[in-house]
Amino acid sequence: MLALALTASLAATTLVGFARADTPGVPSFGRTVDRPYTLAQLGVGLLTLPAADVCLRQQPCTKGDNSIEVDFWQLYRANRYFAIGAGASVALKPVTDNPPSELGSDGSRTHTRSYFLVEGQGRYYAVRAETFEAWVGMTAGLVIVSDRYAIDQPNDSTMPAIIGPRASTVRTEGGAFGGLIGASWSFAPNWALGVSARYMQWFLPHEAATTVFLDRATLTDQQAALNFGISCSYRIAL
């Protein structure tokens, strides 16, 4: 009698396990992400402003700018569907040539530009498979555009002596809002590779800031920006 009861209990447990494993629409990976976790994501990509008018004093404006950018995001995912977090992006190395400063026709005075963004991000995971996910989301935050003017040939005998710093920076701050899409592939426990595309609108001041030497900020007003990148992320269960 006892043996019969144990056999029936084991059979019932086995059937329940099979029923849970075969529940349609809930893959094993989907069940694991129901447990809250944090996500650390490091990425690299291309930041482009295809329609931006880049204007320097007394020179014709140029169209567009491209830079290599690096970003880091820290996200909290409470369930399979939603994640929120914040991160920062920095673009320091332009792909396109920066216009020379109007005072440096001999190449002694240069101009470079960089971008820094601090943003919040929200994601909705529309596609959830065992090793593949895809999401849509929104971002909002602050963008800082830095224009740096510098003298790169201080030993040139043809240049007049200068007292004080040989470089000046004009910073322009504004708001940034945008949307993004992305996908990731889990190649190992807790590790994933991803791709993403993001469209942003930057809202910068209408009047260009200037220094005492009349060096001016090169970007003003509303600007459209695109970001394409790849990333590697690591999940930390809570």
108 C-beta neighbours (distance < 10 Å), count = 17
Domain carrying residue 132: 2-237
Residue 142 pLDDT > 80:
yes
Residue 10 pLDDT > 90:
no
> What's the number of domains the chain is made of?
1
Q: Tens digit of pLDDT for each residue in 96-134?
A: 655 555 554 454 667 788 999 999 999 999 999 989 999
Q: State the pairing for strand pair 222-237/82-94.
A: unpaired
Mean pLDDT of 196-223: 87
Q: State the pairing for strand pair 109-128/132-151.
A: antiparallel
Among 3, 58, 50, CA closest to 227: 50
CATH of the domain at 229: 2.40.160.20
Q: DSSP state, 29?
A: H
Mean pLDDT of 173-193: 96
Q: Tens digit of pLDDT for each residue in 30-84?
A: 445 668 999 999 999 999 998 887 766 556 677 788 999 999 999 999 999 999 9
Q: Tens digit of pLDDT for each residue in 113-122?
A: 899 999 999 9
Percent of the chain with pLDDT over 90: 48
